[in-house]
Structure formats: C-alpha cells, structure tokens
Amino acid sequence: MTELKPLNDKVIVKPIKQDEVTKAGIVLPQTAEEKPEKGEVIAVGPGKLLENGQRAKLEVKVGDKVIFKKYSPDEIKVDDKEYLIISEEDILAVIK
C-alpha cells in the first residue's frame, strides 16, 4: 500500500460517498452528483510555514469527518482508491 504524506497545510481526505434520496423518493447515485462535500481525513501535513520560520498547527486531525468547499479539492487515485487533497483553509467544518 502506498503511503501519502501531505505537505504544508494540505490535508488528504477520503470522500464519503452517499446516495442521495430526493423528496419524491428518487435515489440519485453518487455518479449523478457533482462532487462530494464530505470526507474523512486520512493524513495531514505539518502545517503552513509562517514568515518567522515556525509552522502553524492544523486544526483538523486524522479521523475527523469534514465538510469542504465543493470545487476546492484536487482528485487523485492511488492503488485504485480515490482521495482528495485540500488546503486546510478550504475545509469549512468538522462534523461532530
């Protein structure tokens, strides 16, 4: 298995795929939706490098379920699995 190690303030997210059901009861498969907006954090970078040489600690951690901006992630495929790479600033919330 390939290990992914994000750099700086990047976060690697495994998309949470869910079929959506409309009010009329029609199931929209994942392929009909635009892009996932939820995912689970599987790796985090060391943090953004500040001007003073220190690193700003990331607020998200491995295992967090997050909501992120729809068009911000870069999609990658590793070992036939899909992942998203997102800057921490594009993560909107952690789901509790």
What residue segments make up the domains of the chain, in order of their start? 10-95
Q: How far is the C-alpha of 94 from the C-alpha of 68, rounded, in Å?
A: 9
Q: What's the confidence (pLDDT) of residue 70? A: 84
Residue by residue, pLDDT tens for the chain (96 residues) are 578 899 999 999 999 876 566 667 776 665 545 566 899 999 999 999 999 999 999 999 999 999 998 888 889 988 889 999 999 999 999 998
Q: Distance between CA atoms of 56 and 31, rounded to whole angstroms? A: 37
What's the pLDDT at 13?
95
Place domain 10-95 in its CATH homologous superfamily.
GroES chaperonin (2.30.33.40)
pLDDT value of position 24: 75
Overall size of the chain counted in residues: 96
List the beta strands (DSSP E) in 51-90.
55-56, 65-68, 74-78, 81-87
The β-bridge partners of 66 are 39, 94
